[in-house]
Chain A
Amino acid sequence: MRWWQIKKRNDDLERELLSDLELEEEEQRDRGVPPEKAADAARRAFGNIALIRDQTHEAWGLAPLERFWEDLRYALRSVRRAPLLFVVAILALAFGIGLNAGVFTLLNSIFLQPPTFKDPGSFVQVYARYTGWSTRENQYSPFTTEDYDAIRDRSKVLEDVAASQGSSVVLEEGNRPNAAQTVTCNYFRVFGVDRPLIGRFFVSGDCSRGSAAQVAVLSEATWTTDFGSDSHIIGKTIHLNGAPFQVIGIVSSDAANYLPGGIFVPYTMEPLLDRGKDLLNSPDAPWLGVAGRLRSGFSRADAQAELSTIMSQQDRAYVKRHTSAFNRKTNLVLTNGSFIEDPAIRDRVVAMMALILGPLTLILLLACCNVTMLFLSRTVTRRGEIATRLALGAGRGQLARMLLAESLLTSTIGGALSILLVYRVPLLIMNAIGSHQSRFVLLIHPDWRVFGYLAALVAAATILSSLMPIRAAWKLDLLTALKGRESAATVRSRTTSGLIVVQVALGFVLVCVAVMFGRLPSLITGVNAGFDTHHTIYVPLAVDTPAANRTGALTFYRTLESRILALPGVQSLAYASLGQFRPVPPQEVRLPGQTAGHGKPVSVDDISSNFFSTFDIPLLRGRPFNSADPTSPTADSVAIVSQAFAKEFWPDGDPLGKSIVTPDNRRLIVVGVAADTRSESFDVLDGPRLYTLRDASAPGGRMYVRFYGDPKPIENAIRDTVKALDRTQIIAPETIWESLEANAEQISSLAGIILFMASVGLLMAVVGVYGVLSFAVNHRSREFGIKMVLGASRRTIFRSVTLQAVRNTILGLLCGAAIAEPGMWALARFVQRGSPLLLRGLAPFVLGVSAVLLVVVSLAATWLPALRATRSDPMQALRAE
């Protein structure tokens, strides 16, 4: 019999015992016991029937299950007795668990899942680590074309090997940079996409070297956004980086949701797309990511062994062929293809997940605090019942089990409800991140990892929220509780204070995160850069400027300059070597007489003479560059320095007329001092900056255009001008302000989500603090009454309650700061890499604002309970004595 037949089995046992009892009764009668006493005698002979029943149940081996079921039934009954409380608890937990699991679902889809749905067990991604390579010393890198060919041709363990490279191309018809993948022709098959939405996929002929076809497969997202789902797209010609490609198929975003490209082209097209480089035919350039499918019956370890052999053969061939001293040695790592297993970025992914899930866990903790409080108050109101149980001999374990069952019931229902959020949250987040991210929107599939995580959260919530109630139940003073004395406060003030401190601390950390992210967009758009961002357009150009093409490039630039300057609304045009809002690698600048190594790090910007007027950067002293200044890179010349530079090099003296030495040993005389700008990091003054005069006869550099009026028509005019000159130019001119705004927009939608989550957390914290205080005040009403009888005024009582709350709040803030400070530091360090956002400087602001907010809301939460404390009735308190 199985456990679900337990009822039947119970009935059976009951019947058996009853029939044997009757037999015993008959025997007793036969023995001469008077009929009216026979039943009792039989029972005596039989012993304790309930005990027999219990012991028999034990023999079934199901006793723990039965006991658990009993606890659960009991929990259900107590839910029915206090439904509101459980609804609140369940909702709090559902939110806490749901937000966590929802975000985890998203992270899981992006980082943890292998990039294919079809038989992910046989999918392998291969990463190479070339050591002894000339440039890439000991780094994970893609494969060279030769190595890919070797693996594909020689591997027996892998039945299909694909390679791909992600890049950005300009789709002329879409006029925006588009994500593209140059792929081998078996790419879709290896990634488990069997058939296209419409049209066809690549056939092997499309990839043959030399006679490769200029064909492209579009992802469904690109097809929808850039071509309006044109049903006649197949066979049409599109232009990628200026080259014509024929569309042959559409790959559905459902199947290809992991496939990162918007446009797929054969990998043999790489030289065509990537002008000036020919990675495909270069024996030394690593560029291909390699993935394959295991032949059935082979494991990843087999593949590892085989591919390593192949690669060491390749290494030997490489060394033999090259007369150079490089002694290449390749190590391989094989993974399931998920991001988190990518050895090059694993650490960053883990750190990122920790940074995202960390604050979310705090929301769950807050929910647990709330639930703890609810259960705690229930434990206290039920202390009569609990005391009776203890008096009747219930063990502590039994008691704990009972309370655990209640909180398990609550968190399981909460967890079940949270599944709704698990499906909603990822979509909400992806939608909020922005419409032009929509082509990367992943189809979110919760899998065993998500549900495992959910189960872990439920278990954690169960245990966390039942710890304190269990402790309170164990500490119950039997005697007073049994006497039913209302007066005996059983929850220590230390417990309630602890809860308040924890909730304030957690709320504080969450608010800090929200404030920080809420501040970022305004930090970006509100930046006072020190130059005009609204009327300066950056014109991105890609021109080959090797010596062979020098005259061609020069003509191109000259013509372009004159045409742009002829556009109505354009004021001036300038060049610079440094971009805006990106870290600048410093160069060493010395004073004359200093030897190399003793100079100071300086950002050097190589500019054209009208740079300052184009950017509207005021010159504080001296003169701007003029056409008479020598520009030859070998000759000594003049320079303009920033204020910070002047202060750094000549703290007291006059910089004008002084000499400096550049890293290439040119001696420059300072002729002007320009105002400082904030062009490297947002809202941070740049360090020392040196402006040198650009050689006007050398093409290249970043082109900036100053204009007046509305930017849009000018941007379009510039684009058309460039296209008219060179159709292959990848160009989307934008004012500096517009590119900032685009950045800020993305961050602010993300900030919106974080703000929402933090608000949920803050609400929980406030409700929690309110709950704890109300509870504490209710239980101290007798104490307040007595105090009043002894002469305390209502104000004194109000003050004492508020003061204690304030003390706890401050303690909570300190604890919170102790968590938030290092957290922000870690985040800042994480974000810092390659980003102009300086988060470190934000800390005081964030901590301050959050602290004020927290104090205000927790005072608000204190108000009502404190007021209630003053309403304690002294008479009632005395009567209870």
Chain B
Amino acid sequence: MSSIKDQTKQRSAVLQGTLDMLILRTLLYGPAHGHHIGKHIQQTTNDFLQMQHGSLYPALHRLERRGWVTSKWETAPDRNREFKYYRLTEKGRKQLQVEESQWKQMMEAVARVMWPTSEES
């Protein structure tokens, strides 16, 4: 019991504002459906980032409304079923670059404050 609790403690919600970037980055590998995207993010971070469905779907629909992704019902290659696949658009690709560079700047800025000596050494 206690181990689960600890585990939960170490997990963290996706940082505010980064979810869009993560989704766009995931879609860079190719089209994927909602469940897949969520699982992917969770697994790639070794379950560190908890994907809440409650924020995943609104985020996907928001990205679609902004024209960064498009969606289409398609049959999955390995199954005989249709899923709603999200695909990155050209506009989305550009947005990903923008968000990535912003995130990098942010990280550097944070790093400079947190570990001021590390840069000098």
List chain B residues, Cβ under 8 A from A51.
54
Q: Is A15 a contact of B35 with CB atoms below 8 Å?
A: no
Contact A56 B61 (CB under 8 A): yes
Judged by a CB distance under 8 angstroms, whether A493 is at the interface is: no
Task: Output the residue of A12, A46, A59 with the most chain B CB within 10 A.
Answer: A59
A-contact bits for B8-32, CB 8 A (1 contact / 0 none): 0000000000000000000000000
Q: Are B83 and A19 in contact (CB under 8 A)?
A: yes
Partner pick for A23 among B35, B55, B57, B73, CB 8 A cutoff:
B35
Encode contact with A along B39-80: 1 for CB under 8 Å, 0 otherwise.
Answer: 000000000000011110111011001000000010000000
What is the distance, in angstroms, from A472's C-beta to the closest C-beta of chain B?
37
Chain B residue contacts of A32, Cβ below 8 A: none
Q: In the complex, A12→B34 CA distance in Å? A: 13
A16 adjacent to B57 (CB under 8 Å): yes
> How many angstroms from the CA of A409 to the CA of B58 in the assembled complex?
32
Please tell me the number of chain B residues within 8 Å of chain A, measured between CB atoms.
Answer: 18
Asked if A58 contacts B58 (CB within 8 A), the reply is yes
Query: Interface SS of chain A: helix, strand, loop or mixed?
Result: helix
A63 CB → nearest B CB, Å: 11
Residues of B contacting A16 in the complex (Cβ-Cβ under 8 angstroms): 33-34, 57, 84
B34 and A60 contact, CB distance less than 8 A: no
- Is B82's CB within 8 Å of the partner chain A? yes
**A 19-39 to B, binary, CB cutoff 8 A, 1 in contact else 0:** 110011000000000000000
Of the candidates B33, B52, B55, the one whose C-beta lies within 8 Å of that of A20 is: B33
Which A residues lie within 8 Å of B34 (CB)?
16, 20
Residues from chain A with Cβ under 8 Å of B62 in the complex: 59
For residue A48, CB closer than 8 A to chain B, the reply is yes
Contact B57 A52 (CB under 8 A): yes
Contacts of B35 in A (CB 8 A): 19-20, 23-24
Q: What is the predominant secondary structure among interface residues of chain B facing chain A?
A: helix
Distance from B36 Cβ to chain A, minimum over Cβ atoms (Å): 8
Do the beta carbons of B61 and A52 come within 8 Å of each other? Answer: no
Considering the chains assembled together, what is the distance between the CA atoms of A23 and B33 in angstroms?
11
Interface centre among B61, B81, B82 (most CB of A within 10 A): B61
Query: What chain B residues lie within 8 Å of A60 (beta carbons)?
Result: 61, 65
Complex-state Cα separation, A12 to B83, whole angstroms: 11
Shortest distance between the CB of B27 and any CB in chain A (Å) = 16
Contact A55 B57, beta carbon cutoff 8 Å: yes
Distance in Å: Cβ of B85 to nearest Cβ of chain A: 10
Chain B residues near A59 (CB-CB < 8 A): 57-59, 61-62, 65
* B-contacting residues, A51-108, CB 8 Å: 51-52, 55-56, 58-61
A28 CB to closest chain B CB, in angstroms?
12
Contact residue among A13, A19, A46, A58 (Cβ-Cβ distance under 8 Å from B53): A46
Report A-chain residues with C-beta under 8 Å of the C-beta of B57: 13, 16-17, 52, 55-56, 59
- Measured in the bound complex, the distance between the Cα atoms of B53 and A48 in whole Å is 9
CB distance from A169 to the nearest CB of B (A): 71
Interface residue? A397 (CB, 8 A): no
User: A19, A20, A51, A61: which has the most chain B beta carbons within 10 Å?
Assistant: A20
How far is A52 from B34 in the complex, measured between Cα atoms in Å? 13
- Chain A residue nearest to B52 (CB atoms) is A47
B82's closest neighbor in chain A, by CB?
A19
> Contact check: which of A15, A24, A46 meets B84 at CB < 8 Å?
A15
Contact B53 A47 (CB under 8 A): yes
A46, B52: Cα distance in complex, Å: 8
B84 touches A19 (CB 8 A): yes
Contacts of A19 in B (CB 8 A): 33, 35, 81-84
Cβ of A480 to closest chain B Cβ, rounded Å? 38
Quick one: which of A12, A15, A48 contacts B54, CB cutoff 8 A? A48
The docked-state distance in angstroms from the alpha carbon of A40 to that of B35 is 17
Residues of chain B with a CB closer than 8 A to A58's CB: 58
Within the assembled complex, what's the spacing in Å between the Cα atoms of A17 and B83? 10
CA–CA, A17 and B84, complex, Å = 10
Q: A51 vs B56: C-alpha distance in the bound complex, in angstroms? A: 12
| CA A230 to CA B62, docked complex, whole Å | 73
Give bound CA distance, A735 to B81, whole Å.
100
B83: A residues at CB distance < 8 A: 19
Min distance, Cβ A394 to any Cβ of chain B, angstroms: 22
**Cα of A52 to Cα of B59 in the assembled complex, Å:** 11
Least CB distance, B39 to chain A, in whole angstroms: 8
- CB pair B53–A52 under 8 Å, yes or no, is yes
Contacts of A48 in B (CB 8 A): 54
Cα separation A56 to B65 with both chains bound (whole Å): 11
How far apart sit A51 and B33, CA to CA, in the bound complex (Å)? 20
CA distance A641 to B90 in the complex (A): 103
CB distance from B60 to the nearest CB of A (A): 8
A52 touches B54 (CB 8 A): yes
**How distant is B66 from chain A, measured CB to nearest CB, in Å?**
10
* Measured CA separation A868–B52 after assembly (Å): 62
Q: Which of B52, B58, B81 interacts with A56 by CB under 8 Å?
A: B58
Residues in B neighbouring A15, C-beta threshold 8 A: 73, 84
Task: For the complex, give the distance between the alpha carbons of A56 and B81 in Å.
Answer: 24
CB nearest to B34 among chain A residues: A20
Note all chain B residues with C-beta closer than 8 A to A13: 57, 61
- Chain B residue with Cβ nearest A9: B61
**A56 neighbours in B (Cβ, 8 Å):** 57-58, 61
A48 — nearest CB in chain B belongs to which residue?
Answer: B54
Cβ contacts under 8 Å, B81 to chain A: 19
Task: Judge whether B84 and A55 touch: CB under 8 Å.
Answer: no
- Cα-based distance from A235 to B92 in the complex (angstroms): 80
- Cα separation A24 to B51 with both chains bound (whole Å): 13
19 further A-B contacts with Cβ under 8 Å, apart from A20-B35, A59-B58, A59-B59, are A13-B57, A15-B84, A19-B81, A19-B83, A19-B84, A24-B35, A46-B53, A47-B53, A47-B54, A48-B54, A52-B54, A52-B57, A52-B58, A55-B54, A55-B57, A56-B57, A58-B58, A60-B65, A61-B65
Can you give 6 contacting A-B residue pairs, CB < 8 Å?
A20-B34, A47-B52, A56-B57, A59-B62, A59-B65, A60-B65
The 9 closest A-B pairs by CB, nearest first: A59-B58, A20-B35, A59-B62, A59-B61, A55-B58, A16-B84, A23-B35, A56-B58, A56-B57
